[in-house]
Each structure stands twice: as structure tokens, then as C-alpha cells.
Amino acid sequence: MLQNSKPERIYLGGEAEVRIYSDFVEKIRKKKNYRVSDLDKILRESRTRTEARIISAARRNGVPTPIIFDVQGEKIVMERIKGEPLREIMNTELSRKLGELVAKLHEARIIHGDITPMNLIYSKGMIFFIDFGLSFYDERIESKGVDLHIYFESLKAYFDNWEELKEAFISGYKSYEKGGEVLKRAEEIDARGRYVERRMRD
Ligand SMILES: Nc1ncnc2c1ncn2[C@@H]1O[C@H](COP(=O)(O)OP(=O)(O)OP(=O)(O)O)[C@@H](O)[C@H]1O
Ligand SMILES: [Mg+2]
């Protein structure tokens, strides 16, 4: 690994600074200045370890993710996935495939926490999940429902044909045995949100 070479690009995201090199990526979790610094360091390091662990667990469960090369404190060094952001090439077939992959994550109790077309890269004929910064383990239907709701909202924000993309995702997600139950919950979460919006407007 060329430790001294310059990154090709640097992203400043919400949680992290991401340095893109030709063959690897460094993701460094940023300091939160509103937190006491000792506690902040402990939290950042433990969340970094959780993120790296879940990236590897997803891969073992058949969901494409970058290979983890190293974890150092608040930094993850991982494989660079060369491809196109899913947002730029989204279609019903990809959304259906994504549904199958999220089903695998949920079967493994992994809640992604931020399934949006920006956190997915299409490469070598596969959809890679690249950002597990908000992920955690949970068996509850509610958490899985929220996970789907976030994806459905992101479809509405990015695509005019969001309805057919959502339907395609649903057909893929039904490969999960509890899929029907989770989808029902996602609809309830959506209805709750719309109710609150209406109350705030009136
Ligand atoms: N392993 C990787 N291979 C290729 N590109 C990557 C990789 N990891 C991150 N990136 C690029 O860096 C961007 C930011 O990474 P990531 O989403 O993990 O950080 P983040 O701080 O959580 O960002 P945000 O808050 O915007 O979601 C991604 O959208 C992607 O373009
Ligand atoms: Mg991201």
C-alpha cells in the first residue's frame, strides 16, 4: 500500500472523511466537537470497529461489500470499488436485485441504516454496499421497516419513476421469509410520517 501517495479525491461526508486512492480507500471518522474528547475517541473507535465488522459480515452473507484491508483506531482501509454510483444507472432490474440483497442483510440481522442510491456502487455486474456508517445489528421488524422506508423515501427524492422502482424492490425483497411482515410495517411507518406532516401543516 502506497502510504505516501496522494489521494485522487477526498469526500467530506456527514460522518467521515473519505480518501480515494487508486486501489484503496481510507475512511476516517470525524471528531464531534460537541462531545467530551475522551468519550468521543472511544465512541469513534468502537463505531469504526462495528462498521468494519458489519462490512465483512455482509460479504460473508452474500452481499457485495469492499474487502477490509485494515482497521486503525478511527480509520478503515478498504478495497476501492471502481464502478458507477447506482443513482446514475438505476432501473427496475437493479432495484429488484437490491431488494434481494437487502433481504440477505435482514436475514443476517444487519440493519443498514442509510440505503440510498448514493451509498451503492455498480461494479463487475454486482451492486456493492459501500457505506455502513449507520448500520447495526437488530432482529426487530420495526428496524427493518425503517430501513426500507429510508430507501423508498430516497427513491421519491431521486427518481420520477419511483413507484415502479419501489414495486421492483418489493418483488426482490419478498425472497426474505419475513419480507411480507416488514413491508407491511414500512407502509405503516410511511402512514405515520404522513399523518405527522398533515398535523404540522394544519
Ligand atoms: N470502498 C469505496 N470504493 C469506492 N468509493 C468509495 C468507497 N467508500 C466510499 N466511497 C466514495 O466516497 C463517498 C463517501 O463515502 P461514505 O458514504 O462511506 O461516507 P459518509 O461520510 O458516510 O458519507 P455520507 O455522509 O455522504 O453518506 C461515497 O459516496 C463513494 O463515492
Ligand atoms: Mg454515504
Per-residue pLDDT of 52-109, as tens digits, reads 999 999 999 999 999 999 999 999 999 999 999 999 999 999 999 999 999 999 999 9
Q: What is the pLDDT of residues 157-193, one digit of tens each?
A: 999 999 999 999 999 999 999 999 999 999 999 999 8
Active site residue 114: yes
Select from 130, 135, 150, 158 the residue to mutate for testing ligand 1; criterion: most ligand atoms less than 8 Å from CB.
130
User: 41-58: buried (b, 16+ CB within 10 Å) or exposed (e) per residue?
Assistant: eeebbebbeebbebbbbb
- DSSP secondary-structure letter at 32? -
**For residues 69 and 80, what is the distance between their CA atoms, to the nearest angstrom?**
10
| Residue type at position 131 | D
Verify whether ligand 1 is closer than 6 Å to residue 86 (CB atom): no
**What pLDDT, on the 0 to 100 scale, is given for residue 198?**
77
CA distance 123 to 109: 25
Is residue 2 pLDDT above 60, yes or no? no
Q: Looking at residues 7-15, what average pLDDT do you find? A: 91
CATH of domain 84-201: 1.10.510.10
Residue 201 pLDDT exceeds 90: no
- Tell me: pLDDT of 1 over 60: no
Distance 8 CA to ligand 1 centre (A): 14
Intrachain domains 9-79 and 84-201 with the same fold = no
The cell for 65 is 461489500
- State the pLDDT at residue 3: 57
C-alpha cell of residue 163: 413507484
Nearest ligand, CA 129: 1
Kindly tell me if the per-residue pLDDT of 4 is higher than 70: no
Q: What is the mean pLDDT of the chain?
A: 94
The pLDDT of residue 13: 85
Q: Is the pLDDT of residue 49 over 90?
A: yes
For the chain, how many residues are written?
A: 202
Give the start-to-end residue ranges of the domains of the chain.
Answer: 9-79, 84-201
Q: Which residue has the higher pLDDT, 199 or 129?
A: 129
Find the mean pLDDT for residues 113-119: 95
52 lines ligand 1 (CB under 6 A): no
Among residues 170, 179, 172, the alpha carbon closest in space to that of 141 is found at 179
CATH, domain 9-79, list 3.40.50.300, 3.30.200.20, 3.90.1150.10, 3.40.50.970: 3.30.200.20
The residue whose CB lies within 8 Å of the most ligand 1 atoms, and thus the one to mutate among 9, 11, 47, 54, is 11
Ligand sitting nearest the alpha carbon of 81: 1
Question: Of residues 198 and 69, which shows the higher confidence score?
Answer: 69
Rounded Cα distance, 14 and 75, in Å: 15
